[in-house]
Each structure stands twice: as C-alpha cells, then as structure tokens.
C-alpha cells in the first residue's frame, strides 16, 4: 500500500490562495487538496507562506507576504493584537466578521448536521463592537521587580502586559490597573506557576453596565493577603464606584482560575445589573453574560422563537442563574429551570425573588437526569429551551425531548458544531428546524452564539 506524502515540506515557501476561515479564525489554503492553516490570513487573499509544521493530513504555515489582500482586511487597532490570544479577528473588518460567522454556521449545519435549505439569517451584530465586556479577569506576573497584569500570549503562559483592552469596558481596565498598582505598593508578590510560590494569581473586575456598580476580586494562592487592611482602604478611596471587594483562595497547582474558598473582604457580596427589565444579583463566581446588550438581543430572539401566549409550560435546561428562565417567565404560565451547579440555582432563586417572579421553579442536577424524572412525574413542556455548554446536549436529554414531544424546541448554542450535531438527532426524532439566527456576542473573536427554532413535525403538518 502506497502512503501518500504531504505535498509540502517544512521551512519551504509556497504561493497559495486562501479559501476559508477555520472556526478559530485561521485562514485555510490548499495545495492538491491538502489543507494548510495560516494565522492572520483571510479568504480571497493571494499570499506567500512558510511551512512551520507538517502533519499527515494538514500543515501549518506562517504568513510571509500578501500579494492580493482581502477587500475586508483592516489594520488591527490593538497594539498587542498579534501577541495576545484574546481576539482572533481584529484584522477582519466588522462587516467581514459578520459575513464569516454567518458562513461558519451555514457550513457546519450542512457538513455536520446534513441540514440544507435551512434559513441562516444574517448575524445580528453590534452598532459599536468595542468596549463590550463587563468582566475582566487577568493573570498577574512580575517583570523587573514590578507587577504586570495582562493576557496570556497565544499558545503559551507568557503574560503580555495590557493596560488598555479595546473589547473591555474602560472601567474594568482602569480598575485592574489601579488595583495592581495598590497591591504592588503594599508588597504583594505575584504567583509563580513554576515554583508554586507568591500570592496574587489573578485580578478580576466585574462591572454593572446599567448600575455602574463594580466588584473587585483578588484571586490568591494563600488565605493570607499581606497588608490587607491598607489595600482595602486604598481601593475604596481610589475607586468610589467599587461596591464589593472579594478574595478567592486557590492553593492548587492548576490552570483553573478559582478555588473553593470565597470571602467578602469589604462591602456587599453582590453587585447588580439589568438585562432588559430584569435585575440580576452578580457574585464573584456567578455566571453572567459578559455582553449584556447582545444578551438582550439573543434572549429576545429566543422569546420570539418560543412564541409564548401565557398558557405554556416551559422547561429551561442548563438554566444557569436563571437569565433565560426569567425572560421566559414574563410570557409563560410556568417555567421550570434546571442547572447542575448548586450555587447557580441559589442565584436563580435569588434573582426570581429580586424581580418578584413567582411562576418559576428551579431544580439542581444534571438536565439529562432531572428532566426525565420530571417527565416521569408528569411534568411536560409545551416549549423546551436548551442553552448547553460547548459540548452540546447530553444524548439522554435529547432522547427525553424526543419522547416528551414539546411542540417547540428553542436551542441556544455557543458552539455551532455541536448545535448541528444535536439538531440532526432531533430532526431524526421527529423535529423540523425552521430557522437559525446567529448573534455576535463576542466581536473580534472567533465565537458566535446561535439560536434555533424547531417544531414538532406532526405539529407542522397540522398547521
């Protein structure tokens, strides 16, 4: 049997035309059908590349020269864009980003889900696609005896110092820099991953877009924080918008940011913010969408697809702190939400109470266990909403949906690939995908959020 050799060799140069973008924002060129992935390259570009790594089925190349640029190519405004791993698409105009994300969703629906002729609408983008993130969590290191805070360089744990991030709320940038300076003044040393010594691992700032309230979280290796009293005094004096200072202790040798112990050093345990008319209490570890403006766009579309009249029972799988559940409860008769994280359900119940919403009920556990048990107990849904993690829905949950036969399924996804896979399962189980709406929650990154409407085929036939 003849083993075909790749048509390229490491360190050689080639002229290629870029055909597509990968889901992580790299350009894709092909030589004799063999794919080569090139960072910072865009579709339609004629370029010169140097091959940096060769595998059996694909290679990686470095962009050396652009002979013919894409009509959507722009200069990235961020000075550390090429080093920092936070954004992937600043070299692509915003119009180009929205077109690329629409194509990405369409392609995976066809390739993975074998779903053709499904309307994939133009991506709902932002009028002002900068300064949207309401949470900054930055690693802290040391250089030349001083503290630095920033982002990890692509594919490394080398910290690139960042004083001004163009996708962060300016308040967060200012808070992180001020807190870093105060900690440095009071002799706090940064955590060292290699030696597992030092104190300060990360600084996190959370900002309420509507309320203006800010929370500071210091993530430390040790429970002891040197000069804690003076640090608190300096933060509250310098940053009057801060309503909460929290310490999280993570003594483990791990890349996971948070440890198990969280304690309030000063002020409130929560800050507050609104999405639409609904108020949310946000703790240090709450999952709360980082782009609340676009979250409102996403949830309004989910509500539209649910088509509620006030008579329906709705189940919200993967409900988190109740964000979608509380939106749905405004138009439904009853909403049941389920989430595996107990603290998230505590937050969900608190948020329901905060808004005086009484027609919701939350359960703790795996959606694929709790919802089948509800079904056995006679709780069925007219509309079922899922918003799973990147890995998509558990197979047992998909089978329960097929058995339960809600008239509509609204699928919110942060991963078009697993969305396409799960839509295929539901289609084979008796559902029809009506339409798909991508929403740009994270401009200048490769991520795209999607909301899809499905109806029971027997319901479609009876219309």
Confidence of residue 453 (pLDDT cuts 50, 70, 90): very high
Number of domains in the chain: 3
pLDDT at residue 462 greater than cutoff 90: no
At 362-395, the pLDDT tens digits run: 999 999 899 989 999 999 999 999 999 999 999 9
In angstroms, rounded to a whole number, what is the distance separating the alpha carbons of residues 409 and 423? Answer: 10
Instruction: Find the domain containing 50 and state its range.
Output: 13-68
Active site residue 393: no
Together in a domain, 301 and 352: yes
Together in a domain, 300 and 449: yes
Residue at 79 is within a domain: no
Average pLDDT over residues 85-110: 95
Average pLDDT over residues 186-198: 93
At 288-336, the pLDDT tens digits run: 899 999 999 999 999 999 999 999 999 999 999 999 999 999 999 999 9
Domain boundary among 275, 304, 329: 275
Together in a domain, 107 and 143: no
Domain at 17, CATH number:
2.40.50.140
Together in a domain, 320 and 455: yes
Residue at 281 is within a domain: no
CB contact at 8 A, 201 and 140: yes
Weakest-pLDDT range from 79-83, 195-199, 296-300, 306-310: 79-83
Instruction: Give percent of the chain above pLDDT 70.
Output: 98
Confidence of residue 153 (pLDDT cuts 50, 70, 90): confident
Instruction: Give percent of the chain above pLDDT 90.
Output: 89
Average pLDDT over residues 388-417: 95
Residue at 441 is within a domain: yes
Q: Which residue has the higher pLDDT, 161 or 101?
A: 101
pLDDT at 287 (0 to 100): 86
pLDDT at residue 1 greater than cutoff 80: no
Say if strands 313-317 and 334-339 run parallel, antiparallel, or are unpaired: parallel
Together in a domain, 358 and 259: no
In angstroms, rounded to a whole number, what is the distance separating the alpha carbons of residues 187 and 165? Answer: 26
Residue at 437 is within a domain: yes
Together in a domain, 165 and 248: yes
| 63 burial via Cβ count (<10 Å: 0-12, 13-18, 19+) | middle
Say if strands 200-207 and 214-220 run parallel, antiparallel, or are unpaired: antiparallel
End-to-end CA distance of the chain: 57
In angstroms, rounded to a whole number, what is the distance separating the alpha carbons of residues 260 and 252? Answer: 10
Q: Which residues make Cβ contacts (< 8 Å) with residue 304, sequence separation at least 6?
A: none
Q: Quick one: DSSP state of residue 92? A: B
Together in a domain, 51 and 120: no
Together in a domain, 111 and 188: no
Together in a domain, 121 and 154: no
In angstroms, rounded to a whole number, what is the distance separating the alpha carbons of residues 201 and 250? Answer: 8
Residue at 116 is within a domain: yes
pLDDT at 2 (0 to 100): 53
Together in a domain, 156 and 113: no
pLDDT at residue 463 greater than cutoff 60: no
Average pLDDT over residues 64-89: 93
Domain at 175, CATH number:
2.40.50.1070
Closest CA to 208 of 266, 271, 299: 271
Residue at 332 is within a domain: yes
pLDDT at 279 (0 to 100): 96
> φ and ψ at 392, to 5 degrees?
85, -170
DSSP 3-state assignment of 378? coil
Domain boundary among 275, 308, 328: 275
Residue at 323 is within a domain: yes
Confidence of residue 16 (pLDDT cuts 50, 70, 90): very high
Together in a domain, 150 and 116: no
**Catalytic entry in 87, 165, 319, 414:** 414
Q: What b/e readout covers 350-389, taking b as 16+ CB neighbours within 10 angstroms?
A: bbbebbebeebbbbeebbbbbbbebbeeeeebbbbbbbbe
Mean pLDDT of the chain: 94
pLDDT at 290 (0 to 100): 94
pLDDT at residue 107 greater than cutoff 70: yes
Q: For residue 155, is it left (φ>0), alpha (ψ between -120 and 50) or beta?
A: left
pLDDT at 216 (0 to 100): 98
Together in a domain, 142 and 121: no
pLDDT at 460 (0 to 100): 63
pLDDT at 180 (0 to 100): 97
pLDDT at residue 145 greater than cutoff 90: no
Residue at 234 is within a domain: yes
Domain at 412, CATH number:
3.40.50.150
Output the six-digit token pair for 344: 């998230």
pTM recorded for the entire structure: 0.92
Q: What b/e readout covers 267-303, taking b as 16+ CB neighbours within 10 angstroms?
A: beebbbbebeebbbbbbbbbebbbbbebbbbbbebbb
Q: Which residue has the higher pLDDT, 4 or 136?
A: 136
CB contact at 8 A, 324 and 299: yes
């Amino acid at each position: 049997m003849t083993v075909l050799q790749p048509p390229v060799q490491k360190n050689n140069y080639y002229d290629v035309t870029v055909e597509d973008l990968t889901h992580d924002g790299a350009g894709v060129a092909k030589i004799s059908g063999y794919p080569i992935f090139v960072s910072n390259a865009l579709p339609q570009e004629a370029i010169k590349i140097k091959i940096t790594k060769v595998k059996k089925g694909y290679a990686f190349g470095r962009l050396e020269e652009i002979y013919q640029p894409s009509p959507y190519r722009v200069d990235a405004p961020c000075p550390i864009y090429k080093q920092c791993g936070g954004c992937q698409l600043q070299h692509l105009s915003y119009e180009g980003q929205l077109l690329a994300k629409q194509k990405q969703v369409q392609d995976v629906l066809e390739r993975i889900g074998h779903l053709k002729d499904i309307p994939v609408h133009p991506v709902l983008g932002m009028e002002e696609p900068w300064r949207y993130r309401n949470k900054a969590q930055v690693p802290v290191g040391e250089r030349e005896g001083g503290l630095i805070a920033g982002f990890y360089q692509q594919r490394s744990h080398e910290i690139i110092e960042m004083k001004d991030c163009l996708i962060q709320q300016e308040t967060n940038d200012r808070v992180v820099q001020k807190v870093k300076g105060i900690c440095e003044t009071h002799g706090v040393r940064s955590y060292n991953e290699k030696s597992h010594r030092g104190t300060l691992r990360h600084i996190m700032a959370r900002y309420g877009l509507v309320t203006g309230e800010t929370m500071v979280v210091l993530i430390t290796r040790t429970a002891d924080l040197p000069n804690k009293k003076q640090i608190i005094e300096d933060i509250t004096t310098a940053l009057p918008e801060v309503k909460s200072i929290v310490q999280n202790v993570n003594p483990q040798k791990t890349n996971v940011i948070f440890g198990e112990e969280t304690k309030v050093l000063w002020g409130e345990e929560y800050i507050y913010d609104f999405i639409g008319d609904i108020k949310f209490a946000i703790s240090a570890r709450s999952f709360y969408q980082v782009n609340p403006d676009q979250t409102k766009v996403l949830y309004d579309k989910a509500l539209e697809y649910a088509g509620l009249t006030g008579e329906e029972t709705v189940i919200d799988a993967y409900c988190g702190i109740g964000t979608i559940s509380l939106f749905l409860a405004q138009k439904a008769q009853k909403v049941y939400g389920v989430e595996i994280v107990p603290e998230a359900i505590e937050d969900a119940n608190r948020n329901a109470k905060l808004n005086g919403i009484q027609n919701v009920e939350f359960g703790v556990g795996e959606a694929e266990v709790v919802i089948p048990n509800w079904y056995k107990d006679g709780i069925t849904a007219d509309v079922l909403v899922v918003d799973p993690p990147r890995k998509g829905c558990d197979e047992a949950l998909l089978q329960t949906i097929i058995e339960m036969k809600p008239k509509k399924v609204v699928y919110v996804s942060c991963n078009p690939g697993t969305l396409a896979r799960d839509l295929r399962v539901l289609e084979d189980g008796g559902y029809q995908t009506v339409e798909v709406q991508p929403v740009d929650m994270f401009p200048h990154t490769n991520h795209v959020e999607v909301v899809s409407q499905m109806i029971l085929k027997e319901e479609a036939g009876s219309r």
